[in-house]
Structures are given as structure tokens and as C-alpha cells.
Amino acid sequence: MTTASIQIRPSSTLVFSAALLVFVGVVALVSLVALPQDPFDFITDEPFMPPAAGIWLGSDYLGRDVLSRLMDGTRITLFMAMTATLLAHLIGDTLGLTAAIRGGILDAALSRIVDVLLSLPKIIVGLVVVAALGSSIWVIIGIAAVVYSAGVFRIARALGTDLKNMDYIMLARSRGEGTLWILFGEILPHVIRPLATDFALRASFAILFMSSLSFIGLGVQPPLADWGGMARENLGGLSTNPLAAIAPAIAIALVSIALNLLVDALDDDARH
Amino acid sequence: MGTSVLTVDHLGIATKAGHKVLDDVSLQVRRGEVLALIGASGSGKTTLALAALGHMRPGLEHVGGSVNLNGVDVLKAPHPVLNRLRGRIGAYIAQSAAAAFNPRIRLGDQVVESALLHHSQKSAEARARAREVFRYLSLPSPDRIGSRFPYQVSGGQLQRFMIAMGMQEEPLLMVCDEPTSALDVTTQVEVMRLLKRAIRDNNTAALFVSHDLAVVAQIATRIAVMRAGRIVEVGETDQVVNAPREEYTRELIAACTHLSLASLANRPSRLLTAPATALSVQSIVAGYGNVRGGKPQITTLHGVDLEVGKGEIVAVIGESGSGKTTLARVIAGLHAPASGTVALEGEPLAGLDRERTDGQRRRVQLAVQMADTALNPKHRIRRILGRVLRFFHGLRGDAAEARMVDLLAMVSLPANYLERYPTQLSGGEKQRVNLARALAADPDVLICDEITSALDTIVAGQIIDLVKRLRDELGLAIIFISHDLATVASIADRVTVLRHGRVVEAGECTRVLSAPADPYTRLLVASVPELRRGWLEDAAATRKALEVELEMVRPTVAGWNEQAEMMP
């Protein structure tokens, strides 16, 4: 019988996606210390100037340096997506695993709330909340965290339900251990890996969601801009300097794809 | 004897990492002969059985020698050739029929499936053959039973369907992998009898894999003893059982007789001067679903009494579905009874663990059957034991360390095992850690729920000795739950027999098992496999006689009006 021999070498998908994400992360960090130009400064009178020496991606609709704004936007986009996803996981994992272990009314109540959340279109929720509270980075992060915690809850609950009938959980409960200890001591080591995978995937959704909000003008407010916002404000210049709108769009696509590839690669890796 | 059906010649199979699973194995099975492969788990029995049909589990590779099945070198043959052999020349009967059948396809369709795939029989012809086999295997209403789904028949019946599937195309060789190990003892007798007859009547050769020497002795013409991928001894059944040549074979036989009813005779009688009661259970009614009129919708225990004294082992025996495990869970506080009381030294305990005090929880400890799921695979043994010491006794640091080493010593494990993960332990070692954890709480009452059922005979014997030692050294009151009378005979001081949630007999172990009063206990006792030849025929006869007396009726399945057909 022939089967593929066991691979210990990481797959090329894994290397590619990880490298790309590391690069984007480095760009975000560099933007904190130094940028080619001031992202808010008008470097030229000419809006949508095509790329030239020193202005590698041309200028935007107000004559600002697109490259500098893209790098600055990288930091804003990543910060918002990571914070929102982290919060979504904190909420979703804790509640989901607790619901799985405790069961009963708590589980039923939380699960129904989650059903409601999942049934609402995310963008509409965003519209309504922004209309009520106004837009700021933290409002957007809050919306994304709550909206995505519902999906995380489902996954965490399913993982916990598989484990809670294991004899070692039953024995820990019969010993009188509290829910928190069972959660962190007994269950977490088993679910950390699938949850980490979900984190990466969820982060790519969060980037798309928040970019969409910015694109329709409800997200990050000028003069700050995340990638979605940049794509929107430069839409008018597609004929003169298309890069101003397309470069942030490509950045969104690349990071989302890289995150998805990373998840796939890690998943394959786990199966070997 | 006839011509050789299966010839295994210097076969070597290893894992891809190079660990040898089978090492230079040679054997031959002739027409009409049953060759049994016996050995502990991990000895390579199943790998050899599967190799006989040209199959290797993923991760294994063929490193030398050959397997010749009816003239074909099956390890080198391409798939189409193997497909022509399977079913017609060689058939496989798996251990767990429940896992082998697709629950969504009617049994009759699954039995004839391979014959139709192979185009060896026409549809009508195949179905007629299936009905004939059903009748032969004494399945009830053989003309109609094929239209049932797997969940509509009992475990013993399902195992017979598995055999029917194997017999469908009248193969030359049947490979039976622990075909009766998952069955209750009383059911096992019937399935073994039918299997033995099927092999004899069809002049089929069989390769019979089992860890149970007593079962093998009933059915095999020859026995091959395996250990660590090698065959240590091959011989006629009588010779191997009565005059084994190898030390390891003698060990296996000793373990087998050690754990048998025969051990009752040469057991030193313990002086029992009515020990102080540690735990008493009174008229427990428990089950599942809403409680109406003091009875749950599905009642698994109907007023069960049990009492266990300090330094005493009380065994609870019964077959699957008798309510043994529910009883254990009620005592441990994991399942609230509908009525009745559990009292610890006269002090009544709350139904649920949450309502019991820490001290009460500490004093009643439970050790469960599957050591695999009882120990968190992500925790080192240090953490598993340490947590209990800290939780109940507030022990940390050096004091906890010293106690952990003590505990491991108590269950005969070296101190460096503290650093290991459960996956790095063998089944027997896991069960020792499982016991050590229960002991870490410093309990008065220890409930052992089928703790030896998943273990090999020799290892089970060692665990039994350990439990006895714990009783003697620590004066524990032990409730030992088991379906295996042979094990119970070697360990229990007193016995309580459960059937369908009721106590049918209780008393001193030697008395109950050597002179059982209740017909059900007699049936259980008669069903325990013995090494002697001809036991199977005697057991089948006893079973027939007692069945009439018992009017065995299985619990009603919803919407099922042919209760009598549900008999195993």
C-alpha cells in the first residue's frame, strides 16, 4: 500500500501567507516611527497626480501622498481588526464554553440571543448603531466585536459540548471544581488550537466588515483613513491615478486571502 | 487435513517510523480449520488478521515475506484482484457490529451488498441466500428481519448479521476479529455456538482473533500465541491449553484461571466479622425523564439496596442495561435519584454532588472504566494528582510532591511518571493513575466502575491484585461494578446481582457464585467461559433450560410489538 509520506516541512502556502502577514505587520509598526511623507500634508496642488519619483503611488484627491496614507491606514486597519476580533473571542469563548459546561437555562438563553444576532445583517446593525451613537474608531470596534462574538460563541460552545461529557470533566465536577477552573484548567488546552484558527479567519471577516463600513462613509472619519476609507475617497480618480483607490483595495484583498490561506495551511498541518 | 487456504511466510510489517509490528511471522490455515490468534493488545493480532485479507492500516508498511490467500499474493496484488477475492475467498467479521453497519441502510441490503457489487450473485438469488443464512443463524422471522435497520435489533442479533454478511458468498476463509468481545456473557454463548456451527458446516477455514483464551479454547482447532509481533507458540488447542511449551503461554493460562470461577475454590476465606457499615444505599429509584408518581419516565433502578462495610469489597454484577452504572453515578452524586437514600456512615447524602459538602465529596471517590477519557490528555500526571491534593487537602510544594510519590508507589508506578502525559502510559498504567487520583482524595468509599473491562487478562489481574491490596492496607470500602463474573469471583467479599434495575440476588460471594439461588444468577454463572473443552455445548444447553424458567423478556422498545424477537 502506498500513502504519502509524512511531511515535517511546512507547506509553501504556509510560508507564503505567514510571510505576507509578517510584512504587513512590519509596515504597520514602521508607520508608527517613520513614513515617507506626512500622511496629512498636501505635498502637491495636483489631485490624483500619477506616480512619480519619491511619490511612488501618486497623490490622492487632496494631493496627499498615497503611499504614506496607505501605510498609516495599515496600522489603523490592523489595530481595529485585531482589537475587534480579540474582544469577539473574549466574549464568545467565555460565554460559549460556559454555556456548554453549565447547560440548562443559561445555555438556552445565550443561544437564543446569539440566534437573534446571527439573523441580523451585520452592515444594517452597523448603520443603526452608528446612526445612534455617531462614528468613532471605538464604536466601530465595539460593533464588530459584538457582531462577531455570536459566531465565536457557536464554535466555542460546540467545542465545549464535545468535551464536557469526558469522564475527566465529570470527575472534576464531582470533586466540586468551579466552572472557571474547568473552563481554563480542563477545557482550554483542548480548544486553544481550533479557536486560534477561528481567530485568524474571523480577523479577515472583521477587516472586510470594517472596510465596508468605511467605504460607505460610516467608518473611520477623515482626515484619518483606513483602507476602506481610502478606497472610497479616491474613487473619483480612477481615470487619472487609479492606484489611489486600487492600492488599498488590493491591500484588503491580500490580507484577507493571506489569513484564509494561513488557516487552511494550519488546518492541513493539524491533520497530519 | 485439507489444502492450505492461507499461508503466511516470514511476514514482516512495520510502522513508517520503523517500529516492527509483525516480525518474521509464519503460519498456515488449512481448509476446515480454525486457527486462533491470541495475545495481549498491541501484540499484532489484528494487523496479522487484516494482512491475511491484503489490508494494511494507514501508517504501516510491508517490509518482508508474503501472504498467500488461495494462491494469490495478497500484499502485492492490485486492487481489482483483491476485490475479486474479498467476500468470496476471504471475509472479515469485525469486533464491533454496531460500528460496522451503516445505521441508515436496511440490514438485508447491507448483507447482500458485497455479493451484488462483485456480481457473484443475482439480486434475487442473493436475497434468497441471505434469508437462508438468517434462518441458519436462528435470527427471528428470517424472511422479514432483513428489512430492519441496525438500531432495531439487539447487540447479539447485530453480531449475527455481521456473521451472515461474512457467510453470504461462502468464503474459504473467515477472519473473525474478537467477534464476541463486545457482547454480554449470556449473549456471547449463543453467538459463539452459531459461529462454531457455521464454520464447521461449511468446511470454512477461520482465523479467529481474541484476547480471551477461554473463548478461543471452545472454537479453535489450533492456537497461535502472539507477543510483540512474533508468534511464540503454535499448537493444537489441547496441547497449548494443557501442556504449554512457552513461559508466556503459561502466564496467559495462569491469568485466565486466576480470573475464573474456579478461583473461588482455592480462595482463602476472609474472616468477616460484620464490618462497620461505611456506605448504605436504600431503595434507590432512579432513571431518566420527568418523574411522575415517584417514578421517572424511563426507570433504570427500581428500589435498589446495597451496603458496604469498611475493608470490604462488594461487587455489583449485571449485564449491559441492568442499571449498574446508574447506581454508581447515584452513589457518586452525579445522578439525582427520584427517591431513596445514600448514607455515608449513617449520615444521609444529598442527591447531587453540588449539594454535598467538600468533605462528603472527598470521602466518596469514583474510578471509571475508560482510563483514556478519565485522565485529561493535556495534563501531566503531576498536575492530575496535584490538583486533587491541593483541592481537598490544600497541599502544595514539597508536601504535595512527597504525597504524589507515595501515591504512585501505592499503585506500583515509579516516581518519574509524574512528568508523563496520559498518552505516554499503557492501558494498565492509566488505570493505576486513575486509582491513584481517587486515592489522593483520601476516600472512605471507592467505587470502581468496570475498571478492568478494557484491559487484557494479565493486566486486569494485576489491577485486581492492586484493588485487593488497597482494601487490606487502607481499609477502604469498595464497590466493584463489573459485568465479568470471573473477575468478581476473584475479588469480591459480597455480591449483588442486578437485572433490569432490580436486585435479584445478594449475599456472600462464594455462596452466590458457587450455589446461585436465582435462575438469572445461574445463567450468568453458566455463561462464564471456561478453559475446558466442551464447555460451550454445556453452556448452550444450560442456557436453553434456564431461558424457559426466566421467560426472558427484553425491555420494550417503543412501537415494537414483537418483544420475543428481541431476544439475543
Q: pLDDT tens for residues B518-532?
A: 888 988 888 888 888
Q: Are residues B58 and B88 in the same domain?
A: yes
The answer, for A4 touching chain B at a CB cutoff of 8 Å, is no
3-state SS string over B129-153? HHHHHHHHCCCCCCCCHHHCCHHHC
Closest CA–CA distance from residue A174 to any residue of chain B (Å): 6
Name chain A contacts of B373, Cβ cutoff 8 Å. 166-168
The model's pTM: 0.78
Closest CA–CA distance from residue A18 to any residue of chain B (Å): 27
What is the pLDDT of chain A when averaged over all its residues?
88
Task: Provide the pLDDT confidence category of residue B2 given band limits of 50, 70 and 90.
Answer: low
**Residue B558 maps to a domain:** no
pLDDT score, position B556: 37
Task: Provide the pLDDT confidence category of residue B456 given band limits of 50, 70 and 90.
Answer: confident
Q: B interface mutation test: which of A2, A167, A181 has the most B CBs within 10 A?
A: A167
pLDDT score, position B506: 92
d(CA B23, CA B16): 14
Chain centroid to CA B392: 34
Q: How many domains does chain B have?
A: 2
- Cβ separation B391–A177 shorter than 8 A: yes
* Residue A247 burial by Cβ neighbours in a 10 Å radius (0-12, 13-18, 19+): buried
pLDDT score, position A53: 78
What is the pLDDT of chain B when averaged over all its residues?
86
| Beta bridge partner(s), residue B11 | B25
pLDDT score, position A271: 61
Name chain A contacts of B361, Cβ cutoff 8 Å. 174-176
In this predicted model, which residue has the larger pLDDT, B36 or A54? Answer: B36
**Residue B559 maps to a domain:** no
pLDDT score, position A4: 44
pLDDT score, position B263: 65
Q: What is the ipTM for the molecules in this complex?
A: 0.73
Among the partner residues B16, B370, B441, nearest to A167 by beta-carbon distance? B370
Among the partner residues A6, A168, A176, nearest to B353 by beta-carbon distance? A176
Task: Provide the pLDDT confidence category of residue B106 given band limits of 50, 70 and 90.
Answer: very high
d(CA A128, CA B77): 68
Task: Provide the pLDDT confidence category of residue A269 given band limits of 50, 70 and 90.
Answer: low
Q: Are residues B228 and B363 in the same domain?
A: no
Q: Which of A22-26, A201-205, B92-96 has the lowest mean pLDDT?
A: B92-96
Among the partner residues A166, A174, A190, nearest to B334 by beta-carbon distance? A174
Q: B interface mutation test: which of A174, A183, A191, A193 has the most B CBs within 10 A?
A: A174
Q: Are residues B252 and B317 in the same domain?
A: no
**Residue B269 maps to a domain:** no
pLDDT tens sequence across B141-166: 889 999 999 888 887 888 889 989 98
Nearest to B407 by CA among B375, B380, B382: B382
Q: Which of B1-5, B224-228, B295-299 has the lowest mean pLDDT?
A: B1-5
User: Is residue B247 predicted with pLDDT exceeding 50?
Assistant: yes
Half-sphere exposure for B430 (CA within 13 Å, toward CB): 23
pLDDT tens sequence across B325-383: 889 999 999 888 999 999 998 889 988 888 888 889 999 999 988 877 889 989 999 99
Name chain A contacts of B367, Cβ cutoff 8 Å. none
Instruction: Render the burial of B299-323: b for 16+ CB within 10 Å, e for the rest.
Output: bbbbebebbbbbbbbbbbbbbebbb
In this predicted model, which residue has the larger pLDDT, A263 or B262? Answer: A263
Average pLDDT over residues B253-266: 70
Name chain B contacts of A6, Cβ cutoff 8 Å. 16
Among the partner residues B62, B332, B378, nearest to A174 by beta-carbon distance? B332
Q: Are residues B97 and B54 in the same domain?
A: yes
Q: Are residues B198 and B322 in the same domain?
A: no
Task: Provide the pLDDT confidence category of residue A142 given band limits of 50, 70 and 90.
Answer: very high
Packing angle of the helix pair A12-33, A66-102 (nearest 10 deg)? 120
Structural domain span for residue B386: 275-553
The answer, for A104 touching chain B at a CB cutoff of 8 Å, is no
**Residue B560 maps to a domain:** no
Q: A interface mutation test: which of B19, B378, B384 has the most A CBs within 10 A?
A: B378
Closest CA–CA distance from residue B58 to any residue of chain A (Å): 7
Average pLDDT over residues B116-127: 88
Task: Provide the pLDDT confidence category of residue B561 given band limits of 50, 70 and 90.
Answer: very low
In chain B, what percentage of residues exceed pLDDT 70? 93
Among the partner residues B16, B354, B441, nearest to A5 by beta-carbon distance? B16
d(CA B296, CA B326): 13
Task: Provide the pLDDT confidence category of residue B559 given band limits of 50, 70 and 90.
Answer: very low
E-assigned strand segments in B54-203: 60-69, 72-73, 90-93, 173-177
Name chain B contacts of A175, Cβ cutoff 8 Å. 361, 388, 391-392, 441
User: Is residue B208 predicted with pLDDT exceeding 80?
Assistant: yes
d(CA B114, CA B147): 17
**Residue B403 maps to a domain:** yes
Q: Are residues B356 and B413 in the same domain?
A: yes
Average pLDDT over residues B57-78: 89
Task: Provide the pLDDT confidence category of residue A2 given band limits of 50, 70 and 90.
Answer: very low
Question: Which domains are delineated in chain A?
Answer: 58-271 (1.10.3720.10)
User: Is residue B558 predicted with pLDDT exceeding 60?
Assistant: no
Closest CA–CA distance from residue A151 to any residue of chain B (Å): 26
In this predicted model, which residue has the larger pLDDT, A265 or B548? Answer: A265
Q: Is the peptide bond before B150 cis (omega within 30 degrees of 0)?
A: no
User: Is residue B430 predicted with pLDDT exceeding 50?
Assistant: yes
Q: Which of A84-93, B183-192, B459-468 has the lowest mean pLDDT?
A: B183-192
Q: Which three three-digit cell numbers place residue B446?
A: 471507592
pLDDT tens sequence across A106-129: 999 999 999 999 999 999 999 999
Q: Are residues B75 and B207 in the same domain?
A: yes
User: Is residue A8 predicted with pLDDT exceeding 70?
Assistant: no
pLDDT score, position A93: 94
Nearest to B445 by CA among B544, B305, B349: B349
Q: With contact defined as beta carbons under 8 Å apart, do A12 and A266 qualify?
A: no
Domain termination residue (choose one: B231, B259, B287): B259
**Helices assigned H by DSSP within chain A:** 12-33, 66-102, 104-119, 122-133, 137-164, 167-175, 179-181, 188-215, 227-233, 243-271
Q: Are residues B210 and B327 in the same domain?
A: no
Domain termination residue (choose one: B224, B259, B294): B259
Helix (H, G, I), strand (E, B) or coil at B55: coil
Residue found by looking up cell 452524586 in the block: B333
The answer, for B301 touching chain A at a CB cutoff of 8 Å, is no
pLDDT tens sequence across B10-61: 999 998 888 888 999 999 999 889 999 998 877 888 899 999 988 888 888 8
Q: Are residues B143 and B245 in the same domain?
A: yes
Q: Are residues B158 and B183 in the same domain?
A: yes
3-state percent breakdown (helix, strand, coil) of chain B, nearest 5:
40, 25, 35
Closest CA–CA distance from residue B371 to any residue of chain A (Å): 9
Task: Provide the pLDDT confidence category of residue B567 given band limits of 50, 70 and 90.
Answer: very low
CATH number for the domain that contains residue B155? 3.40.50.300
User: Is residue B547 predicted with pLDDT exceeding 90?
Assistant: no
pLDDT score, position B504: 92
The answer, for A168 touching chain B at a CB cutoff of 8 Å, is yes
In chain B, what percentage of residues exceed pLDDT 90? 32
**Residue B444 maps to a domain:** yes
Average pLDDT over residues B474-491: 89
The answer, for B56 touching chain A at a CB cutoff of 8 Å, is yes
- Cβ separation A1–B56 shorter than 8 A: yes
d(CA A31, CA B139): 78
- Cβ separation A168–B391 shorter than 8 A: no
pLDDT score, position A69: 92
Q: With contact defined as beta carbons under 8 Å apart, do B550 and B533 qualify?
A: no
Q: Are residues B196 and B223 in the same domain?
A: yes
The answer, for A163 touching chain B at a CB cutoff of 8 Å, is no
Chain centroid to CA B72: 35
Domain termination residue (choose one: B229, B259, B289): B259
- Cβ separation B374–A171 shorter than 8 A: yes
**Residue B400 maps to a domain:** yes
Q: What DSSP designation does A55 have?
A: B
User: Is residue B212 predicted with pLDDT exceeding 90?
Assistant: no
**Residue B562 maps to a domain:** no
Q: Are residues B204 and B294 in the same domain?
A: no
| Beta bridge partner(s), residue B227 | B230
The answer, for A154 touching chain B at a CB cutoff of 8 Å, is no
Backbone angle region of B311, left / alpha / beta, with phi > 0 → left and psi within -120 to 50 → alpha: left
- Cβ separation B441–A175 shorter than 8 A: yes
pLDDT tens sequence across A177-233: 888 888 888 999 889 888 988 998 899 999 999 989 988 888 888 888 889 889 888
